[in-house]
């Protein structure tokens, strides 16, 4: 019995370029105009319009397409524009989480950078229809339900063992642990019997790891990456998707408000880690208590601390080149070398997330905290304002990777389902080029080797 034997549909192309209307442009322009009329400076207003454009793009394509480009654009504009806007215009700052350069200096660099990034992704990335890929797979592939459950089981089992393995193996085991979500994607698209049980199990296992370490970003990223498949299964309309997104944002904000206290609790008593302790911390730090919405900048700053990645970029702009000289492309070249060349050809270094933060901002970070300066921050420390052009190339790079995957999918259609794993780190707005490229290359290589092993050794059709 195959996983898709009961589904019938017409063939469709795997991918095509954009053919939809221009409602996203209208929404973006309207938000920019409203921001201008409310007293926001023109560049920041245009940035807010770009966020609205990306947000509409995400909501509209979720449930229809493999919306990786929309996820990248929405997260980047939220963290590099909306967070700084709240800091500049609503005093949402606290401790070191403040803007280190004036609004004009920041916006003059970041807004054009984001425009080139977003529109390069939009132009070069193919449109991958979930329904067309389902039809194509149904009519061209003979998939075994058993093999798909095996993929899910690999992820579920390794999810339980990640923390107990040697550090040197942890990255690849982490990638294997994410197979649970990939298996769930197969099941969602192909309408398999236990798809909802497996999807919930994948989130529960990831949630358990998040609770143990108070690190929720992977859980949240998968929520965004897999949302399109869930909405496709439920056939949600635009209004319902918007309502779900609003509720999700409130939940994330509540989680952010409670995270500091929860982290303190598990540091003081590791045995207290768990859902009940987190819920207790969320109740004590409820957003719906009057104290949470007091007029002090600290309260708003704590809520904006995670959203606003602009403070790190601004710190780098303040430090480079006034204190440290531009790197002139050195970190970018090194990132490609470390990602693409084997160790016997090039001496690699151990990559630590906070290395670039301390080197290019002059700020110190505690050993249990990590900050990255992001790709756009790295573009600044290498090229200054010429980093704007680099961000256009970086967006093009993302689009070309997606195009390459679509080409491969003509031979192995289900490789489309693995895109979220390959782009998992690329969707994060705070990661630097070395980490992004390292993840894309290693996860892509792992997927390729898994396909070869499955087809040649196990004789699986996946």
153-191 burial string, b = 16+ CB within 10 Å, else e? ebbbebbeebeeeeeeeeeebbbbbbbbbbbbbbbbbbe
**Is pLDDT above 90 for 354?**
no
Q: Is residue 182 part of a domain?
A: yes
Q: Is residue 235 part of a domain?
A: yes
Domain count, the chain: 1
Does some domain include residue 185?
yes
pLDDT recorded at residue 135: 85
Mean pLDDT computed over every residue of the chain = 83
State pTM to two decimals.
0.86
User: What distance in Å separates the CA atoms of residue 358 and residue 372, rounded to the nearest whole number?
Assistant: 9
| Domain presence at residue 171 | yes
C-alpha pair distances (Å), 444 with each of 70, 333, 449:
21, 20, 9
List residues bridging with 65 in a β-sheet. Answer: 62, 129
Reduced to 3 states, what is the DSSP secondary structure of residue 127?
A: strand
- 345 located within any domain: no
Write the pLDDT tens digit of every residue in 128-187: 999 888 888 877 767 888 999 999 999 999 888 766 555 556 778 889 999 999 999 999
Convert the pLDDT of each residue in 44-54 to its tens digit: 999 999 999 99
Rounded to the nearest 5 degrees, what angle is found at the Cα of 317, between the Cα atoms of 314 and 320? 150
Q: Look at residue 6 in the predicted model and tell me its pLDDT.
A: 36
Report the candidate in 384, 372, 385, 387 with the shortest Cα–Cα distance to residue 320: 384
Task: Give the Cα separation of 396 and 64 in Å (integer).
Answer: 22
Q: Which of 77-81, 157-161, 451-455 has the lowest mean pLDDT?
A: 157-161
How many CB atoms are located within 10 Å of the residue 197 CB? 11
- Asked if residue 166 belongs to a domain, the reply is yes
Range of the domain at 167: 143-293
Residue 247 lies in a domain: yes
**How confident is the model at residue 76, as a pLDDT?**
95
CA distance 444 to 454: 15
- Conformation bin of residue 328: beta by default, left when phi > 0, alpha when psi is -120 to 50: left
- Please report, rounded to a whole number, the percentage of residues in the chain having pLDDT higher than 90: 50
216 within a domain of the structure (yes/no): yes
pLDDT at 17: 47
């Amino acid at each position: 019995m195959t996983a898709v034997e009961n589904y019938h549909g017409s063939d469709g192309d795997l991918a095509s370029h954009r053919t939809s209307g221009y409602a996203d442009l209208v929404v973006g322009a309207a938000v920019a105009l409203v921001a201008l009329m409310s007293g926001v400076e023109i560049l920041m207003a245009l940035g807010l319009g770009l966020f609205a454009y990306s947000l509409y793009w995400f909501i509209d394509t979720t449930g229809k397409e493999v919306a990786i480009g929309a996820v990248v654009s929405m997260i980047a504009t939220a963290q590099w524009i909306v967070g700084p806007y709240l800091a500049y215009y609503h005093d949402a700052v606290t401790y070191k989480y403040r803007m280190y350069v004036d609004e004009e200096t920041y916006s003059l660099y970041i807004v054009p950078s984001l425009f080139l990034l977003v529109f390069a992704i939009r132009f070069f990335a193919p449109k991958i229809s979930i329904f067309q890929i389902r039809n194509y797979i149904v009519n061209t592939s003979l998939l075994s339900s058993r093999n798909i459950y095996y993929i899910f089981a690999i992820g579920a089992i390794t999810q339980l063992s990640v923390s107990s393995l040697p550090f040197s193996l942890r990255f690849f085991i982490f990638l294997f642990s994410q197979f649970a979500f990939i298996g769930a994607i197969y099941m969602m698209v192909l309408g398999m019997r236990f798809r909802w049980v497996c999807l919930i199990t994948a989130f529960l296992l990831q949630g358990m790891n998040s609770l143990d370490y108070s690190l929720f970003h992977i859980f949240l990223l998968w929520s965004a990456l897999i949302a399109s498949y869930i909405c496709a299964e439920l056939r949600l309309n635009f209004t319902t998707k918007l309502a779900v997104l609003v509720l999700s944002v409130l939940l994330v904000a509540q989680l952010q408000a409670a995270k500091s206290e929860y982290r303190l609790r598990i540091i003081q008593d590791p045995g207290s880690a768990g859902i009940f302790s987190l819920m207790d911390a969320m109740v004590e730090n409820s957003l719906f208590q009057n104290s949470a919405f007091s007029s002090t900048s600290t309260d708003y700053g704590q809520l904006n601390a995670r959203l606003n990645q602009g403070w790190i970029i601004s710190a780098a702009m303040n430090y480079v080149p006034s204190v440290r000289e531009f790197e002139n492309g050195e970190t970018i070249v090194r990132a490609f070398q470390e990602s693409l060349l084997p160790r016997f050809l090039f001496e690699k270094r151990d990559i630590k997330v906070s290395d670039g933060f301390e080197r290019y901002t002059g700020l110190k970070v505690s050993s249990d905290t990590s900050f990255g300066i992001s790709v756009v921050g790295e573009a600044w420390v290498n090229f200054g304002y010429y980093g704007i052009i680099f961000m256009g190339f970086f967006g093009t790079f993302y689009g070309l990777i997606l195009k390459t995957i679509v080409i491969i999918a003509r031979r192995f259609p289900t490789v489309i389902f693995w895109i979220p794993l390959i782009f998992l780190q690329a969707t994060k707005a705070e990661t630097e080029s070395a980490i992004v490229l390292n993840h894309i290359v290693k996860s892509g290589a792992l997927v390729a080797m898994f396909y070869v092993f499955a087809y040649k050794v196990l004789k699986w059709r996946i």
